[in-house]
Each structure stands twice: as structure tokens, then as C-alpha cells.
A and B are shown apart, each in its own frame.
Chain A
Amino acid sequence: MTTPTYATLTHNGLWKNNPALVQLLGLCPLLAVSASVVNSLGLAAATLFVLISSNLCVSVVRNVVSDTIRLPVFVMIIAASVTAIELLMQAYTYELYQILGIFLPLITTNCIILGRADAFAAKNPVLPSIYDGFIMGVGFGAVLVVLGAIRELLGTGGLFANMQLLFGETARHWHVVFSADYPALLLAILPPGAFIVTGFLIAGKNAWDNAATRRAEANRAPIVAGTKRVRVTGKIS
């Protein structure tokens, strides 16, 4: 298996094979934590860190770990990364750490991370693995933040509340309220809102892809009747 180019990796991570919208991996934290932008950003950052460090370590040890015990080893590596990021968040963003609660340690069981470790980092050199972890994390995080923004906007009528939890006191003023007497759509904040908004995001992506396919087909050179087929059997020696 040849290592894919960085452009392919980018396209896969951000769009074609997006962890949240296409692979539908890691839905549990995606749906549970995305009630506001700040929660989404916190979890996205944590997942990104774990993805990069676990992909790095797995790629380094890929030739010395035998196939039969690779999964336990990968899980140990991931758990160690998660413990590190958990301690870091506890130290620097304590309130956010408390809000994210169980979903921080649960990153260990997030399928994206084990999936990338086993499907990519275990078969590829260090640098592409790091990049794959980074771009997959960004793809996941982008969906998480968009989901959090839509839910916060629908559910509270504002955006970027409580950003000081992540960016310090100056970020307290980032909170935008669009309409003071907005009747909050509580459903968007509640768990069903996460499912509904995610469903619409996936539908939107699929509609975009379908439209792109149709455009590409329309632009393809028409096949003229009477032209000859190219013979594809046999080898040129």
C-alpha cells in the first residue's frame, strides 16, 4: 500500500471521508457535547490532540508490535494520550473540564481514534500519520463546531456564550445576542436537537455531492455515436 499524498489526505479528512458526516464515527460525544460552541471547541481540541499523538506513537511502534496484540497496544497508547489531555484540561480550563465531564475520558473509546490508528497509522510512516490524525481531527472538529453553533443559535438566540472558559477573560465579550426576546427553541439544545441537526448536515453534504456529480457528468465530453472503443485487453511488452 502506497502512502497517499497530503492532498488526498486533506480531501479525505475534511470532506470525502469526514469522520462525523460520512463515517459517522464518534457520534456519542458529537451529539452529547455539541450544545454550544465553547463545549464543541473544547472537545474538538481534545480529540485533535489525542488523534495526533496516538497516530504518532502508533506509527512509531508499528513495526515492532505484532499483529495479534496490536489492538490492546493501540488502546493503551490512546488511553495514555487521553489521560494527558484530561490532566491538561483539568489544569488550564477547569470549568470546561467539569462541563465536558465523562466525555473527556470517553475519548478513549471514540472509534475515530482507534479507527485511524489501525487503518492508517499502523501501515504508514510517521509524518503522513501525524498529518492524517491532524486533518481527521480538524474534520471532526469542524462538524462539531458547526453543530454546536447551529444548536446554540437555535436554542438560545445567541452565539459564543461562555467563551472565557477556553480563551480567558477577554473572551467573555465575544458573546453575541441576536435578539433579546427570542423564544428559545429548547428542542435544539436537548439531545433530539443534536440528532435532527446532524441529520440535516449529512443531508446537506449529500445534496452538495450529488449536485457536484451531476455537474461533472454534464461537463463530460459527449460520446459520439460511431466512434470506436479502445481495446483494453493484452499488455504492451
Chain B
Amino acid sequence: MSFLRITSPHGHSPLNTAQVMQAVLLATLPGIAVLTWFFGPGTLINIVFGGALALALEAIALRLRDRNPQRYLQDYSVLVTSTLLCIALPPYAPWWLVATGILSSVILGKHVFGGLGYNPFNPAMVGYVVLLISFPLQMSSWQAPRGLGEIPGVTESLTALFVPASYDGVTMATPLDLLRQNKGLLLDDLFSSTPQFSQWAGVGWEWVNIAFLAGGAWLIYRGIFTWHAPLAMLLALGLCAAIGFDSGSSESGGSPLFHWLSGATMFGAFFIITDPVSGATSNRGRLIFGALVGVLLYLIRVAGNYPDALAFAVLILNFAAPFIDQYTQPVTYGHKPSREDDE
């Protein structure tokens, strides 16, 4: 038996930016697949169109900033931004909607602040909020899921992107909308009387969320990000929902399970708030950051005016991230935490 003598430091090659970004892209695949199964090829078309546009814009922005486009385009970061944004956009959106979102994400969200690593806000969510504020009508019309409406084919989906009003899709209120507009029905009655609801949450939506949860769990296993922020966000959201559940009365805010499996919960928990740049940096900070996102997510969902709350919750907390970092700075090894340090 050979005795390998390995001395410290046991260096290993850490992941570089491109590998991290590729892993994130790979992890979105299950979610995208389920989205495509339930809502048709609209999301895929958005992703391809948005990705091409984002690459072109990134190259132009890099050229304007006197950077080497070839080197920076290879880190896949802009593709992650555009893919995350396009997943959040409603399928069968017109091209100008996608284009405005990508433009806002890449230019206003990223390059205005100095490019990758310098953005104080999550670029994908910047683009999403610009769209949500500017075009509330288009942003809140979601295709009805498979089983409740007809799923368009690929050609129909392509024409929907470029020819205005060519595709008259079947849109339906999402479960979150229905719950907010619920007037006077007990939760059980609402679930049984409306076809959009399913066993746990909404038809389609629950599986979309489970798929993103699976992708996120794989990313944690790969060590791309830590579990702190997602877990804190989900726990805080669940706690808020449990408090507001009101045993399913007509005033109920929905069960924890419903909130976990609705809208952008899992997508946000594993793909948005884990952004290493715009979130908090220490593990303790991530716990606080995630929990506050969860609380805000619930509050805006139940009391707010928009279809889902994730983008607003994340942007508000991005503002707060440096402040959270300030008070959660870990003590360096060998030092004692002292009060004098705070002053």
C-alpha cells in the first residue's frame, strides 16, 4: 500500500466565473422544461431571442467602455441575466417587451454601474421591474396552463413574438391573482370552484416551482452558493403564511405550501436572491437578507397591487444589503468581538 504524503495547503482549483454561470444555466433547465410543458414554447423563444439580444448589447456596452468584448463575453454572466429575466417574463410576449427588458437589465442594471461584480441591484430584476411598471397590462397576462387552455405551436409562438396581435392566446388569472381578488369565499371553496387551483397550489405552477427547487438543490450540492439565503427566505415566507393562513377563511392569505409553490418563490429563492454581487456577503447576513425577502414577498403578495412581489422585494433588499453587511461582518480568526469595533 502506497502512502501518499500530501502536505498542506491542499489547494484545489476553485470554480471560475464562467463555470459558476454555466452551472446556474444548467440548473435552470428543469424549470424551463416544466414551464415549456405547461405553457408552451413561449418561454423558450423568449430565452433564445433575449439571449441573442443580450449578447449583442453586452458586446456593444463593453466596446463603449473600452473593454475586450471577447474576454468578457466568455463568462456567460449576461446569458444568466437574460435567461433569468426571460423565465420571469410572460410567454408569448411581443419582441419589444423582451427587448426593453434586456436593454434595461444589461445597460441600466449592469453596465451603468461598472459591469459584472459592480451592480448594486440584481440586473434581471431591474429589467423586470422596469417592464412591470411600464407595461402592467402585458406583464400580467399569463398563458393558461396545459389542461386549461390550448397550448400554441412553435410557428404560432414565433409569430406572436414579431407580429402584434397575431396570436390571441388564452390568458388566465394566475393563482396568486385569484387569491388576492378573493371576495368572501372560504379557501377550500375557492380552490374547488376555480380550475386554476390544483392539489397544492396552481395547475402547472406547483411543478414549475418544484423543478426550480430541484435545480437549486443541485446548485447547493455543487457548492455554487450556500443554503443560508434560500432557506431563510422560504422559512420566513412559510412563517408569515402560517400566521396569515387564518385556517383557510375568506380573509386567508393562503397556506405556507401554497406560497412556497406559487409564482416565483422557488425561482427567486435559488436563482435571484443567491446573486453573490447584489446580496449580503456573510452567512449571517445572508440569513437576514433571505428572511427579509421572504417577509416582504409575503406582505407585497397579500397586500400589494402587482401579480407577484419577488422583484420588488429583492430590489428593496438589495438597497439594504450593504447595511446588513455592515452589521454582520464576521470576526476575523483570533480576534474577540468587541464593542469598540462598532464605533
Contact = CB atoms under 8 A, between A and B. Distances in A.
Interface stretch (B11-19, B128-136, B321-329): B128-136
Interface of A: 181, 183-188, 190, 192, 196, 199
11 contacts: A183-B135, A183-B138, A184-B134, A186-B133, A186-B134, A186-B136, A187-B130, A188-B134, A190-B133, A192-B133, A196-B108
B164 interface: yes
Nearest to A200: B112
Q: Is the interface of B mostly helix, strand, loop or mixed?
A: helix
B333 interface: no
Contacts of B94: 183
Contacts of B250: none
B96 interface: yes
Nearest to A186: B134
B283 interface: no
B226 interface: no
Contacts of A186: 133-136
A148 B97 CA distance: 23
A187 B133 contact: yes
B300 to A, nearest CB: 18
B140 interface: no
B134 to A, nearest CB: 4
A181 B97 CA distance: 14
A199 B134 CA distance: 19
Contacts of A190: 133
Nearest to A154: B134
Contacts of B164: 181
The 7 closest A-B pairs by CB, nearest first: A187-B134, A186-B134, A185-B134, A187-B133, A187-B130, A183-B135, A186-B133
Nearest to A199: B112
Nearest to B133: A187
Contacts of B108: 196
Nearest to B138: A183
Contacts of A183: 94, 96-97, 135, 138
Interface of B: 94, 96-97, 100, 108, 112, 130, 133-136, 138, 164
Nearest to B136: A186
Nearest to B97: A183
A181 B112 CA distance: 30
Contacts of B134: 184-188
Q: Which of A186, A187, A188, A196 has the most CB atoms of chain B within a 10 A radius of its CB? A: A187
Contacts of B133: 186-187, 190, 192
A84 B97 CA distance: 47
A185 B96 CA distance: 11
A183 B164 CA distance: 11
B163 to A, nearest CB: 13
Nearest to B137: A183
Nearest to B131: A187
A199 B112 CA distance: 10
A102 to B, nearest CB: 24
Contacts of A187: 130, 133-134
A183 B108 CA distance: 20
A199 B138 CA distance: 28
B202 to A, nearest CB: 28
A192 B131 CA distance: 13
Contacts of B96: 183
A187 B130 CA distance: 7
A53 B97 CA distance: 48
A186 B164 CA distance: 19
A183 B96 CA distance: 9
A204 to B, nearest CB: 12
Given A186-B135, A188-B134, A196-B108, 19 more contacts: A181-B164, A183-B94, A183-B96, A183-B97, A183-B135, A183-B138, A184-B134, A185-B100, A185-B134, A185-B135, A186-B133, A186-B134, A186-B136, A187-B130, A187-B133, A187-B134, A190-B133, A192-B133, A199-B112
A186 B112 CA distance: 21
Contacts of B138: 183
A31 B164 CA distance: 34
A59 to B, nearest CB: 42
B316 to A, nearest CB: 14
A213 to B, nearest CB: 16
Nearest to B64: A207
A199 B133 CA distance: 19
Choose among B97, B133, B138 the residue with the greatest number of A CB atoms under 10 Å from its CB.
Answer: B133
A181 B164 CA distance: 10
Contacts of B100: 185
Contacts of A196: 108
Nearest to B108: A196
